[in-house]
Amino acid sequence: MKVDRSEISKNLPKKGFRKEPSGHHIYFYHEYNGLETGVCTYISHSAKQKDVSGDLLLSMRKQLRLESIKEAVDLIKCPIDKEEFNRILIERKVFRSEPSSKKRGK
Does some domain include residue 17? yes
- Please calculate the CA angle 11-43-73 and round it to the nearest 5 degrees: 45
Residue-level pLDDT at 50: 83
Judge whether 69 lies within some domain.
yes
pLDDT bucket at 102, cuts 50 / 70 / 90: very low
Q: Give residue 99's pLDDT.
A: 53
Q: Is the pLDDT of residue 86 over 80?
A: yes
| Residue 40, domain extent | 2-91
How far apart (Å, rounded) are the C-alpha atoms in residues 64 and 80? 13
pLDDT, residue 8, reads: 92
Q: How many domains does the chain have?
A: 1
pTM across the whole model: 0.83
Is the residue at 25 inside a domain?
yes
Q: How many whole angstroms separate alpha carbon 12 and alpha carbon 23?
A: 19
Measured CA to CA, the distance from residue 51 to residue 106 in angstroms comes to 50
For residue 30, count other CB atoms closer than 10 A to its CB.
25
Compute how many other C-beta atoms are within 10 angstroms of the C-beta atom of residue 73: 21
